Each structure stands twice: as structure tokens, then as C-alpha cells.
Amino acid sequence: MGIRVTSRGMQTTVQDKGRTGFQRYGFSVSGAMDQIAFKLANSLVGNDPDEAVLEMALMGSSFIFTDETVIALTGADCQPLLNGKAIDTYRAYHVEKGDELKTGPMGDGIFSYIAFAGGLDIPKVMSSYSTSTRFNIGGYRGRALEEGDHLNFKHTDISFNQIIGRNISTFLESISSGPDNIRVIPSSEQPALTDVIRESFYSQKYTISSKSDRMGYRLEGKRIEMDEQISVISEGTVWGDIQVPPDGQPIILMADRQTTGGYPVIGTVCSVDRSKLVQCSPGTEIQFTQINVEEAQTLFIKQKNWLKLQQERLNDLAFQSKQSGEVSGVQARNKIDDLIDIVKDSSFTQFSYSDKHIKLDIDHESVRVQSKESTNQPEDQ
């Protein structure tokens, strides 16, 4: 039991961190485009960081839940409605069997993510849940979701009560480089480029083209003029490589990129700016700033520490919730004990009580208590 798709949206796929280690065989890495939003979604529902999530692009999907779970939506604001009521992104919500989740067009980005407590019960292909639509592998039957598809949830020991309501209210403001500024580490090929080419690349603004997709973001701007096309031996590609093809309009390689490339690479997008970059919609203007490897490493460590801090905060909330639940359990037990004493000291021969949590039967010979939230058999006391 899990979820049934009632509206497919633009393109909704199953993704995780990516299919690493197989580029040498010609298979793209794939994986979530916004890796930060992907990780935070899993953190909010208590999952391991690499559990499978749903990635929705541009226009969200709609679902009916066929089992209860806890969900969290992150990334672009997809205007989610749970049973017709607006809910927040970056917050964990409990859903029941029969509940309906509707999502709409992305309001402030491109990609939105849904994580489910415990994850989705689908097989891994080459050590990854990620969908590669280029190779028709991974995810749900190697394709984007269609209306009528049903995905099961994994069995989980996660306590829903400990994660419901968890939220992340702050974001990566401390390491942001501004809304349109993308930091770039120069490539080893950059010295072969003339000062004029480098000046042209870093001084102008580019517009994200409508021809962009999960394979690469095409840019539109003043053409980078080269006296002659630089000859480059084909080499392995990296997420964020900025290639300069013969037409002089740069292409930034993304998650579904080809495994090798032969165009000159002017630089690689700094990893901490990737999430911001992928959420830029067509028509957005961006400008590049050159940084060195040491600066990029400092930013990466800062981002990693921020993510660790968020995870520790969420873990603390779960621990506090567990402690609160244990205290509540002790208090409830004390109340039951008081009730038992009252009945035994009274003239009642039998007393019964029932609510949504327990069923209680007391007489002068025995006490039977059954928890309705447990599969355990009632115990005689």
C-alpha cells in the first residue's frame, strides 16, 4: 500500500542521489537535480539521506494515499493542498489512507520533492533508485509517472508521532552568492582561452534558455568568439561543467548529462550553487564569478556543516517528542492505577471504559487493559 497517481503533472520521476560508478559503462548519473532539497526532504521524515523521493518538474502531480504515512515537500513551492487545505513546504505532515495531495505549478523554481517516511518500495538498478529516462531504467519502470500508477511504501519502524510537524524554517542564506550570481571554478583548459574569451564569459549576463532540461541548461547571450575551435580530447563529464560548443553559447551539464564530452570546458559550477542554479526557470538571467578551489572547498564545508546542524536539530526534536511520549505514557498509567483503586474501593462489581487509545475492564478479580494503538494482546493484572 502506498500512493496512486491521479494526475501525472509535467514530469514526475523517482530519484535519489544518483547512479554513481557507472559512467565508465556509458550510463548517466541521473539523480535529484536539487540535491539539497532532496536531502532535506528525507531528513524531515526521518529517512536515510539516500532514500527514494519523487521529483516533480515545472507542474506538480496529484495523488491518493492508499496507506498512512508522513510526508514532506521541499524545493520549489508547488502550492500543495492536502485534502483541499494548503500546507507548507519544509514541514512534515501525517496523511491517512484516502487522503488526497494535489500540487500545482512551481511558484519559485523548477523542481519540487516529496519524501515518504520509510521510502518507496521499488528495486534498485545499478545501486540506485534514480530514473534515467534516456536509458529507461530505474525508478518506476524506467519512466516518468503516469495517471493510475501505484507505488508502495516500504515497511518502516519510524515512529510517526516523533516526526510529525518537524520543519526547517531557515535556509542557506549564509552561503548564498545572490539570486543571479553563480560561482565557477576555472577548468584546466581555461589557460588555452584568450583573455578576450574569459572577459566575455565573466563580464556578461546569460539567460537560461527554454531548451534547457535535465541533461543540460543552455544559455543565451553574446556569442563567445573563438579564433578557432579548441581541440579537446573527449573526457569524462562532471555535473556543472560549462561547455562551449561551436555556436559560442555555453551549456551547463546537469544530472542526465552524457558521460563524456569533447567541447572545451571553461569552468565548473561550484557545488554549493548547484541547487540555486537548477531552480532558475527559463528566462532567468545569471552571471558567473570566478573562484578558486580553496574558496569552493570552504563554501562546501560551510554547507555541509549547515546540513549537519539541521539534521541534529531534527534529531533533537524527535528525541524530545519520544521523551514527551514516555512521560505522557507514565502519566496515563498513573491515571489508570488511580481509576483501578477507586473501582476496587467502590461498590461496583464491574467497570468498563473505552476511548480511542485504550479499552479498560475492571472487576474485583482482575483488570484487563488493551491499547488500541498496539497489536499486543491485553494483559491480566
Q: Please report the pLDDT score of residue 327 as a whole number.
A: 47
In a 13 Å sphere around the CA of 142, the CA atoms on its Cβ side amount to: 6
pLDDT band at 347 (very low <50, low <70, confident <90, very high): low
Per-domain boundaries in the chain: 2-168, 175-291, 315-380
3-class state of residue 208 by DSSP: strand
pLDDT band at 262 (very low <50, low <70, confident <90, very high): confident
pLDDT band at 376 (very low <50, low <70, confident <90, very high): very low
Q: Please report the pLDDT score of residue 287 as a whole number.
A: 95
Cα dihedral 338, 340, 341, 343 sign: positive
- Whole-angstrom distance, CA of residue 120 vs CA of residue 140: 10
**CB neighbours of 56 closer than 8 A, spacing ≥ 6?**
9, 10, 11, 12, 78, 103, 106, 111, 112, 113, 114
Are 3 and 56 a contacting pair, CB within 8 Å? no
Are 56 and 114 a contacting pair, CB within 8 Å? yes
Calculate ∠ Cα 295-283-252, nearest 5°: 45
Beta pairing class for 181-186 and 285-290: parallel
Calculate ∠ Cα 248-190-225, nearest 5°: 25
Look at the domain 175-291 and name its fold: Cyclophilin (2.40.100)
pLDDT digits (tens, 9 = 90+) for 73-82: 999 999 999 9
3-class state of residue 294 by DSSP: helix
Q: Give the pTM.
A: 0.81
Q: Please report the pLDDT score of residue 191 as a whole number.
A: 60
b/e for 108-146, b at 16 or more Cβ within 10 A?
ebbbbbbbbbbbbebeebeebbbbbbebebbbbebbbbe
Phi, psi at residue 73, to the nearest 5°?
-115, 135
* DSSP 8-state secondary structure symbol assigned to residue 333: H
* DSSP 8-state secondary structure symbol assigned to residue 246: T
- Whole-angstrom distance, CA of residue 309 vs CA of residue 303: 10
Q: What value does the mean pLDDT take over residues 247-263?
A: 92
Instruction: Tell which residue, 153, 154, 134, 151, has the closest CA to residue 142.
Output: 134
Lowest-pLDDT range of 76-90, 260-274, 284-298, 364-378 = 364-378
